[in-house]
């Protein structure tokens, strides 16, 4: 499944992913110790919602624009982060994960970004100018392992690939297993699109067999049953989620489900321990 982000910026998956990233990092920041935030597939960093690629799909209308039309205060932090790159106005630019993470940095924290695609890497450096981010252009899976353990005692690795390669899930599975051996206590977040339940359950089975403890899965299914051949939602795997984060999930996920539900469909938010 090809998921080039410039076509999908600001869609429902972004709203969920970035709302949860904010909640996760803030939960970790309840302790004063420094954090390293590492984004292995950072993308362009900033996206034009009025651009040709975003307009071709129109997915922001069902994502960030719905979140802005919703009054639930649980989405205020997300909306504030989007407004920060739009001079406080309604969104015409959409921040990628690097921008969300940069806004969360404290003086003691580190932000490491990686984007191998040459054009996207240039755009990323431009988007992150004036921030404390370090930008790399390496193979994402090689960099993921090379940066572990992080320089700070605690850290978060965000893995958000476009799923353009047929072996993407296999590379994630193998790299996660190796990363856990090097950095068993670290927090890892893996984003994935949902196309059909059967294929996804097979991947979850392979991940379960890794035997990694404290492996949380959060899934946002847009439709009550699979819609063949289209994007059906997205999810996050979170390894070693902090307790403060898991406690915030039920009301936040319900707020997101309500704001993003397509007309005629309730949608579903599923949270479960892949390995308890």
Report how far residue 274's alpha carbon sits from residue 276's, in angstroms, rounded to the nearest whole number: 6
Structure tokens at 2: 């090809």
pLDDT tier for residue 261 given thresholds of 50, 70 and 90: confident
Region of residue 61 (left: phi > 0; alpha: psi -120 to 50; beta: else)? alpha
pLDDT (average), residues 248-265: 88
Q: Is the pLDDT of residue 5 over 80?
A: no
Residue in the block written with tokens 């431009």: 126
pLDDT given at position 34: 98
What integer best gives the mean pLDDT of the chain?
A: 92
Cα separation, 252 vs 257, in Å, equals: 9
Is the model's pLDDT at 8 over the cut of 80?
A: no
pLDDT at 198 over 50: yes
Least confident of 149-158, 172-181, 220-229: 220-229
For the structural domain made of 5-275, what CATH number should be given?
3.40.50.150
* Chain segment 93-105, per-residue pLDDT in tens: 999 999 999 999 9
Measured CA distances, 58 to 67, 71, 151, 259 (Å): 15, 22, 41, 17
Given this model, what pLDDT does residue 1 score? 43
Which CB contacts under 8 angstroms, 24+ apart, belong to 261-268? 261/222, 262/62, 262/222, 262/223, 265/222, 265/223, 265/224, 266/224, 267/220, 267/221, 267/222, 267/223, 267/224, 267/233, 268/219, 268/220, 268/221, 268/224
Given the residues 160, 167, 224, 272, select the one marked as catalytic. 160
Q: Helices H, strands E: what count in the chain? A: 10, 10
- Closest residue by Cα to residue 42 from 99, 105, 126: 99
| Mean pLDDT confidence for 193-199 | 85
pLDDT at residue 21 greater than cutoff 80: yes
User: Average pLDDT of 162-189?
Assistant: 96
Q: pLDDT band for position 265 (50/70/90)?
A: low
* CB-based burial, 26-36: b 16+ in 10 Å, e otherwise: ebbbeeeebbb
160 is catalytic: yes
Share of the chain above pLDDT 90, in %: 78
Q: What pLDDT is stored for residue 179 in this prediction? A: 98
Grouping H, G, I as helix, E, B as strand and the rest as coil, residue 8 is coil
Q: Measure CA 183 to chain center.
A: 20
Three-state DSSP at 274 gives strand
**Whole-model pTM?**
0.94
Beta-carbon contacts of residue 122 (< 8 Å; ≥ 6 apart): none
* Size of the chain, expressed as the number of residues it contains: 276
pLDDT of 218-235, one tens digit each?
A: 999 887 656 555 567 899
Instruction: Read off the pLDDT of residues 39-88 as tens digits, 9 standing for 90 and up.
Output: 999 999 999 998 877 777 678 898 999 999 999 999 999 999 999 999 87
For the chain, the domains span 5-275
Residue 176 CA neighbour count, 13 Å, CB half: 26
Neighbour-count burial of 227, counting CB atoms closer than 10 A to its CB (0-12 exposed, 13-18 middle, 19+ buried)? middle
CB-facing half-sphere around the CA of 29: CA atoms within 13 A: 16
Q: In the chain, which ranges are continuous DSSP H helix?
A: 12-28, 52-57, 64-69, 76-84, 97-104, 118-127, 140-146, 168-182, 197-208, 243-260
- In sequence order, which residues have a C-beta less than 8 Å from that of residue 58 and are 6 or more positions away? none
């Amino acid at each position: 499944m090809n998921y080039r982000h410039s076509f999908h910026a600001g869609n429902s998956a972004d709203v969920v992913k970035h709302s949860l990233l904010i909640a996760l990092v803030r939960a970790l920041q309840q302790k004063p110790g420094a954090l390293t935030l590492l984004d292995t597939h950072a993308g362009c960093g900033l996206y034009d919602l009025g651009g040709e690629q975003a307009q071709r799909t129109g997915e922001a209308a069902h994502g960030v624009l719905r979140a802005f039309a919703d009054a639930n205060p649980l989405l205020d932090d997300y909306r504030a982060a989007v407004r920060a790159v739009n001079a406080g106005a309604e969104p015409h630019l959409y921040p990628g994960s690097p921008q969300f993470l940069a806004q969360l940095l404290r003086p003691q924290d580190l932000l490491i970004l990686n984007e191998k695609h040459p054009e996207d890497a240039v755009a990323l450096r431009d988007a992150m100018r004036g921030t404390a981010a370090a930008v790399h252009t390496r193979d994402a899976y090689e960099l993921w392992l090379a940066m572990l353990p992080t320089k700070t005692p605690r850290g978060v690795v965000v893995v958000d690939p476009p799923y353009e390669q047929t072996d993407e899930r296999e590379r994630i599975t193998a790299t996660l297993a190796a990363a856990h051996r090097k950095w068993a206590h670290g927090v890892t977040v893996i984003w994935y699109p949902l196309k059909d339940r059967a294929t996804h359950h097979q991947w979850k089975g392979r991940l379960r067999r890794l035997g990694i403890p404290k492996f949380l899965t959060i899934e946002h299914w847009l439709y009550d049953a699979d819609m063949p051949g289209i994007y059906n939602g997205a999810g996050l795997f979170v390894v070693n989620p902090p307790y403060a984060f898991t406690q915030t999930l039920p009301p936040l996920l319900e707020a997101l489900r309500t704001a993003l539900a397509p007309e005629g469909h309730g949608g579903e938010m599923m949270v479960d321990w892949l390995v308890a």
